[in-house]
Amino acid sequence: MKRLSFLLGLVMFFIATVATGCGTDKEQIKPQTEQVSLTISAAASLKDAAEELKGIYITEHPEVSITYNFASSGTLQKQIEEGAPADVFISAGKSQMDALANKELIVKETRQDLLSNEIVLITQSDGNLTGFADLTGSDVDQISIGTPESVPAGKYAKEALVSMELWEKIQPKLVLAKDVRQVLTYVETGNVDAGLVYSSDTVVGKGIKIVAAAPVGSHKPIVYPMAVIKDTGHPEEAQAFTEFISGDEAAQIFAKYGFKPLIK
């Protein structure tokens, strides 16, 4: 009888041990949330606001990592056309997004106009410029704008200067930059006497001041369109990111950096 009780106890112990072991194994092989990496191609003028928004987003979505590719919108457009990896494109100009849409490289239903901005004339803090007309004076040797063919800020700047009948007069003084942030750097470092940038760029500028804003109607409306790239490997996550970027919390961050949110 004692031997039978001993054997029964041994069997119960074995069953309990196996059950415990199985439970542990199930916990160990429990699948973890897969990390998703998104590449966001964004206009250079968005850099500071975008970096702050990245911090907020990955805190709320730890399963997602964000990598930014900042450059002029024209450069980003060409990269996407040539197959460079990108999940979302945020352009500083409509023509670049239109070009991708015409080639069916974006998810058209995700396209939306995100932000607006303003073109301003800047100089160093101790500069003597009082307005756009002073650009033709002998005291101004060099003026920087983004390359109009690839940099939306440069395109808007050229349109404004043409409208004010200054474009031809200042041709010998022009220093073309690869993006609007390079224009800002040229002015900050004193490499040029003046530059035309977005109003939002002046928020992070050092040792510079705004001389004047481009007259209303002197250039086409400034619009930053955004869309999900058609070849994204993570359409749901990319869509979720654009929803965050177009939301109220992001709008407050963009406004802090001098942008004008268009989505209500």
Q: Kindly report, residue by residue over 199-219, the tens digit of the pLDDT.
A: 999 999 999 999 999 999 999
Closest CA to 88 of 142, 124, 43: 43
**Helical (H) or strand (E) element with 241:** helix 235-245
Residue (of 233, 224, 212, 178) closest to 36 by Cα position: 233
CB 190 within 8 A of CB 142: no
In words, the CATH class of domain 119-213 is alpha beta
Assess whether pLDDT exceeds 80 at residue 114. Answer: yes
Domain covering 36-116+223-261: architecture: 3-Layer(aba) Sandwich (3.40)
Given a cut of 80, is residue 11 above it in pLDDT?
Answer: no
Instruction: Compute CA 196 distance to the chain's CA centroid, rounded to the nearest angstrom.
Output: 20
Torsion over CA: 247, 249, 252, 253 (sign): negative
Taking the whole predicted model, whether its pTM rises above 0.85 is answered as no
Question: In this predicted structure, what is the pLDDT of residue 12?
Answer: 53
pLDDT digits (tens, 9 = 90+) for 210-259: 999 999 999 999 999 999 999 999 999 999 999 999 999 999 999 999 99
Confidence at residue 9, expressed as pLDDT on a 0 to 100 scale:
52
Q: How far apart are CA 95 and CA 139, in angstroms?
A: 36
Every domain of the chain and the residues it spans: 36-116+223-261, 119-213
**CA–CA separation, 91 and 227 (whole Å):** 9
Which residue is listed with tokens 């730890």? 62
